[in-house]
Amino acid sequence: MRFVADCMLGSLAKWLRVLGFDTIYQRSYGPGFPAGFPMDDRILLSRRQARVASHPGAVLIRAERTGPQLMEVRESLGIDPPPSQWFSRCIRCNAPLEPAPDNLSETVPDYVQAIHHGAIRFCPVCRRCFWPGTHRERMLAQLADWGFPAG
């Protein structure tokens, strides 16, 4: 499943990416969005009732906070991604992550490379690196609180 989250759903877009979903998010869209926007079989997620009404298959997100928003998407569309899919996309730019190259000395501390060798993922678009550290542990705990347990 692939999504477009409108400008009111930035945090939801990030967490859908954490779960491994291809999710486009922009801070603003032109007038008349989504008309003329290349949806590419994506599901529109919006908090604007008029926008959802004018776009077949769109999902209206009523909740204001991220956790309940994620639960709305889950209930509306039946999403339940396996944990093996989680953390497979860049949370900044949405690109699929790749195994990190060996020459990361400028971007990843040496001790992280030593501890997490083989588990570091790299975004080929924005060149950010991700590894299973304490930030990921907190994200896993948050996902579990929202009904997405890792195991």
Residue ranges of domains in the chain: 2-82, 88-131
State residue 118's pLDDT score.
81
Q: Look up residue 19 and give its DSSP letter.
A: T
Range of weakest confidence among 7-21, 70-84, 121-135: 121-135
Which is more confident, 54 or 74? Answer: 74
Range of weakest confidence among 21-25, 104-108, 122-126, 139-143: 104-108
In the chain the beta strands, taken as DSSP E runs, fall at 2-5, 22-25, 43-46, 59-60, 98-99, 121-122, 129-130
Distance in angstroms (rounded) separating the CA atoms of residues 83 and 117: 20
pLDDT of residue 47 exceeding 80: yes
Bond into 34 cis (ω within 30) = yes
Cα dihedral 48, 51, 54, 56 sign:
negative
At 105, the pLDDT band (50, 70, 90 cuts) reads low
Structure tokens at 98: 């790749």
